[in-house]
Amino acid sequence: MSGAHRRTGALVGTVGAALLAAGPVMLLRGRGGRKEIRTELAAQRITFPDGGLPVELAPFAGRTVETGPQARAYAELIKDHLAKTTGGRTYAEITDELHAADNDDEKLAQLRQTAFMGETLRGSLLSAYQAWELTTLVTGLGAVLTGLGAALVATGGALGTDTGRP
């Protein structure tokens, strides 16, 4: 076997070993992140109403928000409620109206507070959803790197093995 094959085998094996080390770390971090998201969402004790949900959210009726997709669905529920409550206006638009009224409109001030709280909770839930999606990506990449690393280690070993052929 030529020295070039052995060097190539060593290089491929080294890269494979690095990937084989990184893959399981990513798997563990992804699973740990997902567990943390579940724990934090469950601690908030957010539950979908038993009824009165839009058709697309009906499967969530009565369920506690514990996953990223559930957090996203609840954020959509908040969005719908906010649109109805504020007449489709955002926190910024209501603030502009309140300033135009010289901050002397109690009803607008309360509506602004409602919009602020709703948009803040919605943003937090959407952040939990995005974190959930990232844990999916990290876990998937960890699995791919683990498999690729194992394949490269085996390939590197095969390249570095002397078959006894001239």
Token couple for 138: 């990290």
Does a structural domain hold residue 88?
A: yes
Does a structural domain hold residue 165?
A: no
Does a structural domain hold residue 145?
A: yes
pLDDT by 10s per residue, the chain, length 166: 577 778 888 899 999 999 999 999 999 999 999 999 999 999 999 999 998 899 999 999 999 999 999 999 999 999 999 999 999 999 999 999 999 999 888 999 999 999 999 999 999 999 999 999 999 999 999 999 999 999 999 998 888 765 555 5
Domain extent for 50: 3-160
* N-terminal to C-terminal alpha carbon distance within the chain: 7
Beta carbons of 71 and 132 less than 8 angstroms apart: yes
Token couple for 107: 């009803």
Side chain identity at residue 159, one-letter code: L
Does a structural domain hold residue 93?
A: yes
How much is the pTM?
A: 0.82
- Name, in order, each residue with C-beta under 8 angstroms of 104's C-beta and a sequence gap of 6 or more: none
Query: Does residue 103 sit in helix, strand or coil?
Result: coil
- How would you write 1-58 as a 3-class SS string? CCHHHHHHHHHHHHHHHHHHHHHHHHHHHHHHHHHHHHHHHHHHCCECCCCCCCHHHH
Cα–Cα distance for residue pair 53/88, rounded to 1 Å? 19
Does a structural domain hold residue 166?
A: no
- Name, in order, each residue with C-beta under 8 angstroms of 64's C-beta and a sequence gap of 6 or more: 42, 45, 46, 47, 48, 70
Number of domains in the chain: 1
